[in-house]
Amino acid sequence: MIPHRFITAQPILRRVAFDHADHIFELKHDGFRALAYVDRDGTRLVSRRGNVYESFPRLSVAIGSEVKHEAVLDGEIVFL
């Protein structure tokens, strides 16, 4: 079962760069925003709308093998 209490972070476009210790900056890549739910049942990649991404089984396995505890990870699935 996929918990619905989490939503993906919404990036904010800024016209001017700034520097602050409380922020992490990343280059903008076009991809799929997703939450990775990692628990004892495995890893599920879920879209903003709650759809499970089944097209990335190797990515799910890779995330699950690196994360050793239950977790919800927010990120972007991109191909470089």
Extract the residue ranges of the chain whose pLDDT is less than 50.
Answer: none
The pLDDT, as a whole number, for residue 12 is 76
Provide φ and ψ at 71, rounded to 5°: -160, 160
CA 38 to mean position of chain CA atoms: 11
For residue 9, give the nearest of 78, 79, 72 by alpha carbon: 72
Position 3 scores a pLDDT of 55
* pLDDT reported for residue 49: 87
pTM above 0.85, yes or no: no
The confidence score (pLDDT) of residue 53 equals 95
The b-or-e profile of 20-54 (16+ CB within 10 A means b, else e) is: eeeeeeeeeeeeebbbbbbeeeebbbbeeeeeebe
Would you call 9 helix, strand, or coil by DSSP?
A: coil
